[in-house]
Structures are given as structure tokens and as C-alpha cells.
């Protein structure tokens, strides 16, 4: 089952007796669970026919007994087990999976990790098409995900703004959508495009002093701009953690190094092989012109060294701000 297939089937009242939702990305698990809770039963039906358990506070026999009940004055009942990863003896659910009650929608929300696919329970669920795995998106997929998410809501976003959101919010889809919902509330109805100014005004991320602008300055060896950004970071360490900056720089320079080994350097090939938005291809080309392969290897080694120093290894007491200044100097010179 895919997310869209599940939602489409639910909208058409084409219900499955079991929805075993598992995986490292909780966003889609929560979306499916919430949809079922809100929409499968009417408000009058919910009081007798909807039960929500939590994995820490229940057990498999209790869940199975509830699932085996017939609905009262309704066609269906909904049984939801949230935080199912904390259930003991989950494997015992197989006894119900073999003969589920068709009038019950049993939702098992097993979040933040995959179920063991070697076990009989998973194979029984998969055989009957009762499973959905919500996989974690790689960081490089998040900007495109943000773009598509906004398109579905008739909004647009600039590539720079999408990348900036990714850098500061990470790959937590729930956190990202939460921040975007805040923006929707503050924007006037006639504004349908989100840019760097929108991000700065509504989320508090500086459009001028951020990791995206730092990599941009380093790519063209703009010493003045790079040092202004690094000084800003040093003065605001809580909002600009050095580990995040080093991670961003490592991501960027590793791809610049990969660019040097590419035979086909057409823009489309670069975007595809480096897994970057086409908008940023020119930045990587400029960086490759300014940094030879040997220098890039040195930079990546420096990034690893300063990452360790930022975590206390081999550091003689230099604070994060000064470490970043040292690192920036060595990258540029």
C-alpha cells in the first residue's frame, strides 16, 4: 500500500480490516491514523465504536478482544493502537491477522522504526496487503518534498527558501509542515509564493546569515561575505550550531569533489547525478572552478577534523565561534 492509495481507498469507503503502519518517518503514519480517526465514523458513531489504545498501557489480548467486537448501530468500528512499538509480544497479533473481523478497522501505528520483516507476523500482514512502511526521506530529497507539499496547497516556494528550510529544520516532516502552517496563517490571501524574506519574517531564520549563504560565499571565494557570516554565527552560536554548519559544508564540498570526476558535465546530468535542484547547478560549477580536487580533499579532511574538535576531541579550549573562523580561513587560503 502507498500513502495515496490508502487515503484514496478510505475516501471511497473501501476499508481494510487491518492497517499496520510502520517505519522511521512518523509523519505519514500520523496522517493516516488521524484521517481514520476523524473520518471513518460519524460523530454519533464514535462514542460506541471508536477505541484508542496506547502501546505502553495495553497488551495484545486486550487489542484483539476489542477488535473482535461487532459495531453498535454502525457498519464499522475503529480500533487504534498508537505508539505500538512499545507493545509486548506483538508477534501474538498474528492470531487475529489470520482471521480479522471485516467490520473492524484495526490501526497499528508502529512509529520511528521498522517492524522485523523476518518474523511471521510481518509476512502474514504483507501477504494480505495490510502493511504500509513510512520510510525516512534522505536530506537531499527534503527541498523537493517541500516544493511538492506547497504545490498541493497552491503555494510556490523559491529553491533558496526550500533549501534554507531544510538546513534549519532538518528532515522532520512534521516539524517542517508545522512551520509552513504558521506561514500560511500569517500570509495574506493574495500572496502565494514563499521566498527568503517570508522565511526570515515568519520563522526567524536570517536570509543573509545562514549556511546556504556561507556555502555560496565560499564557492566563489568571497572572503568578505564569508567572514561576515562566520562572525554572525560566532556571535549567535545557539541559533547557528557549528555541527550543523560543518555538516552543510561537508555536503556541499563532497558534491563539488564528485563534480570533478564526472565526464558528462551538462546541467541536467549534474543535477541528476549530484541529486541537487537544477537551480543550484551553476553554484557547483563556480565552486569547481575555484577549488581543484586536491584542495577539496584537504577541505573534507579539515571538516572532519573540526567536527571532532567541535565535539571536544583534540580541542584545547577554543570555542565554537573561533573554531569556525579558523576552519573558514583554512578553506579559503
What band does 169 get if pLDDT is binned at 50, 70 and 90? confident
Mean pLDDT to the nearest integer, 268-285:
90
Buried b (16+ CB within 10 A) or exposed e, 238-253: eebebeebbbbbbbbb
CA distance 291 to 218: 10
- Nine-digit cell at 331? 578553506
Mean pLDDT to the nearest integer, 81-106:
96
Q: How many CB atoms lie within 10 A of CB 152?
A: 7
Q: How many CB atoms lie within 10 A of CB 5?
A: 12
pLDDT the model gives residue 135: 93
Mean pLDDT to the nearest integer, 307-316:
87
pLDDT the model gives residue 224: 96
Pick the CATH number of 211-332 from 3.50.50.60, 1.20.272.10, 1.10.3720.10, 3.30.565.10: 1.20.272.10
Q: Domain coordinates of the chain in residue numbers?
A: 3-133, 139-203, 211-332
pLDDT the model gives residue 186: 87
Q: Which residue has the cell 527568503?
A: 196
What band does 200 get if pLDDT is binned at 50, 70 and 90? confident
Per residue in 115-158, pLDDT tens? 999 999 999 999 999 999 999 998 878 989 999 999 999 999 99
Nearest to 159, CA basis, from 168, 149, 146, 171 = 146
Three-state secondary structure readout of 122-179: HHHHHHCCCEEECCCCCHHHHHHHHHHHHHHCCCEECHHHHHHHHHHHCCCHHHHHHH
DSSP 86: G
* Max avg pLDDT among 36-45, 111-120, 189-198, 200-209: 36-45
Nearest to 58, CA basis, from 118, 109, 134, 124 = 109
What band does 168 get if pLDDT is binned at 50, 70 and 90? confident
CATH number assigned to the domain covering 139-203:
1.10.8.60
Do 242 and 319 meet the contact criterion of CB atoms below 8 Å apart? no
At the topology level of CATH, where does 3-133 sit?
Rossmann fold (3.40.50)
Residues 6+ apart with CB under 8 A from 194: 150, 155, 156, 157, 158, 161, 180, 183, 187
pLDDT the model gives residue 39: 97
Amino acid at each position: 500500500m502507498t500513502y495515496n492509495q490508502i487515503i484514496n481507498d478510505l475516501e471511497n469507503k473501501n476499508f481494510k480490516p487491518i492497517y499496520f503502519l510502520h517505519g522511521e518517518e512518523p509523519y505519514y503514519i500520523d496522517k493516516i491514523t488521524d484521517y481514520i480517526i476523524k473520518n471513518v465514523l460519524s460523530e454519533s458513531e464514535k462514542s460506541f465504536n471508536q477505541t484508542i489504545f496506547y502501546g505502553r498501557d495495553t497488551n495484545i489480548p486486550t487489542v484483539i478482544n476489542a477488535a473482535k467486537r461487532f459495531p453498535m448501530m454502525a457498519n464499522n468500528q475503529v480500533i487504534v493502537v498508537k505508539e505500538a512499538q512499545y507493545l509486548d509480544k506483538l508477534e501474538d497479533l498474528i492470531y487475529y491477522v489470520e482471521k480479522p473481523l471485516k467490520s473492524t478497522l484495526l490501526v497499528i501505528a508502529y512509529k520511528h522504526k521498522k517492524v522485523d520483516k523476518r518474523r511471521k507476523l510481518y509476512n502474514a500482514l504483507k501477504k494480505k496487503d495490510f502493511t504500509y512502511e513510512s520510510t525516512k526521506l534522505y536530506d537531499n530529497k527534503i527541498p523537493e518534498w517541500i516544493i511538492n507539499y506547497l504545490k498541493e496547497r497552491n503555494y510556490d516556494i523559491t529553491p533558496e527558501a526550500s533549501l534554507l528550510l531544510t538546513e534549519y529544520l532538518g528532515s522532520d516532516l512534521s516539524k517542517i509542515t508545522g512551520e509552513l502552517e504558521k506561514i500560511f496563517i500569517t500570509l495574506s490571501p493574495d500572496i502565494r509564493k514563499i521566498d527568503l524574506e517570508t522565511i526570515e519574517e515568519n520563522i526567524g531564520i536570517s536570509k543573509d546569515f545562514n549556511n546556504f549563504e556561507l556555502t555560496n560565499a565560499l564557492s566563489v571565494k568571497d572572503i568578505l561575505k564569508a567572514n561576515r557570516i562566520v562572525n554572525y554565527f560566532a556571535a549567535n552560536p545557539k541559533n547557528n550550531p557549528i555541527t550543523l554548519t560543518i555538516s552543510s559544508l561537508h555536503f556541499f564540498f563532497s558534491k563539488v569533489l564528485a563534480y570533478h570526476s564526472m565526464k558528462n558535465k551538462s546541467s541536467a546530468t549534474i543535477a541528476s547525478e549530484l541529486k541537487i535542484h537544477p537551480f543550484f547547478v551553476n553554484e557547483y560549477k563556480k565552486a569547481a572552478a575555484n577549488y581543484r580536487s586536491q584542495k577539496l580533499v584537504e577541505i573534507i579532511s579539515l571538516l572532519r577534523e573540526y567536527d571532532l574538535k567541535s565535539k571536544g576531541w583534540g580541542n584545547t579550549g577554543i570555542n565554537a565561534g573561533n573554531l569556525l573562523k579558523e576552519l573558514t580561513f583554512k578553506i579559503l587560503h
